[in-house]
Amino acid sequence: MATPVIMPRQGQSVESCIITKWNVKKGDKVKIGDVLFTYETDKATFDEEAKVEGTVLDIFFEEGDDVPCLTNVCVIGNEGESTAEFDPRNKDAAASEKSASEEKSVSAPVETKEVPAETPAPAAPVSSGDRIKISPRARNLAERTGVDIRFATPTGPEGRIIERDIIALRESGPVVTPAAMSEYMASGISPMTSGTGLGGRITTADVEAGISATAVAASQFAPAQKPEAEFAEVKLTNIRKVIAKAMHNSLSTMAQLTLNTSFDATEILEFRKKIKETKDRMGLENITLNDIILFAVSRTILNHKDLNAHFLDDKMLVFNNVHLGIAVDTERGLMVPTLFYANLKSLNEISREAKALAESCQKGTISPDLLKGGTFTVTNLGALGIESFTPVINPPQTAILGVNTVVQRVREVNGEYVYYPAMGLSLTFDHRAVDGAPAARFLRDLKTNLENFSALLAK
């Protein structure tokens, strides 16, 4: 029996995923557990395995396509079985025909009989400089179906493109994959009448080839250049686009201010040394300095609740528990998984969960549900030798703590100058939600707790 394979939903907030690689093709035999395709959300990458044994009867999407969650992606079954009932493209076509009939009944109440005609060829493309008149409903359908509206023949009032024009164009004109659409429309290349994808769809590879061809043509009129390339063009990954958008939004919508201080790290360094010597015998995790910082933050910040909050323009959500965001550096970019209810967990539990979250991020298998819900974030650049920096807040949080490296400093003790290990802390806060003095008091209390860490553990 034919069995459809759907695009999984990785977390409640994920609406669609991009297919990055197909490991099978139509007609291949697969067994249970074989990897069918690889897909990614904006933060993580996953493999989808076959749940049944059989033949890949049909594949509905290509690499690079952005597929809504729970949509049929391919079908596995016995050779010769029909897959039409599982094809999501058939459902889209049916919905489009229904919309067209509804629009026709509204715009043309007087029924007229016409002689059936052959499907017209696509019209000549509209110049990119010309303004295209198109109804919102037609534009929405065009975006969903992936057609190039520049080929549409307008039949609406005053040369306006309406929905039936998009439906007609889909039957005769070029169709662009979702992954290629934005680059295709913004590339400036000449409109294409067909592509190399399924059914003649224009893919990202076609767009890149068109851009290259345009560059080659232009180079014929350009002066001789150096043999070495001046630069390399690197397409942004989805996660980099998300990071860029989030950071720009943070800095452009908040009143961010950073306070810097340092504390005597003698006690936590001694504590860390004892843990390393006894952890195996006592069955403890390899507790790091960062784990100690996380623990101290979780016990300190509830006395400064405006920093453990979300700022929502006209109101604030002040949380009674601490859900710590932990900045993690990965090959794909910065990720911030959440350690929920950190204030209720022991130092050993915090250490174990923080390492598990970091490992999932670095492998690209982190659940999207673990990349949200943070109430306060800690980011540590101390291992890279950074003495001070300005962390950027993760909206709608009201603050973020940066942890710096340990440096040797001098202070006077009983008339003599002595060296001590100082660790820096950089607190960025949203001045719309928190004033400077309350933020400084949090740093002061955190400093006291870290310098007296054994006493903090005893509470």
Active site residues: 431, 435
Rg (CA), the chain: 29
Please state, in angstroms and as integers, the Cα–Cα distance from residue 422 to each residue in 43, 284, 406, 407, following that order: 35, 26, 5, 5
Q: One-letter amino acid identity for 457? A: L
Q: What is the DSSP letter of 173?
A: S
70 contacts 15 by C-beta, under 8 angstroms = no
3-class secondary-structure state, position 409: strand
Question: Three-class SS of residue 66?
Answer: strand
CB-side exposure of 156: number of CA atoms within 13 Å?
19
Contact in structure between 377 and 324 (CB atoms under 8 Å):
yes
Tell me the residue length of the chain: 459
Reference 349, options 304, 400, 283; nearest CA is 283
Rounded Cα gap, residues 261 and 251, in angstroms:
22
Read off the DSSP letter of residue 80.
T
- In angstroms, what CA-CA distances link 355 with 42, 288, 350, 408? 22, 10, 9, 28
Give yes or no for a contact between 334 and 302, defined as CB atoms under 8 angstroms apart.
no
Distances (CA, A) of 36 to 4, 6, 9, 22, 69: 12, 11, 16, 6, 16
End-to-end Cα spacing for the chain:
62
E strand intervals along 285-398: 309-311, 316-318, 324-326, 328-330, 333-335, 338-339, 376-380
Rounded (10°) angle between helices 436-451 and 266-282: 50
Report how far residue 40's alpha carbon sits from residue 38's, in angstroms, rounded to the nearest whole number: 7
Determine the 3-state secondary structure of 339 from DSSP: strand
Distances (CA, A) of 87 to 84, 96, 444: 5, 15, 62
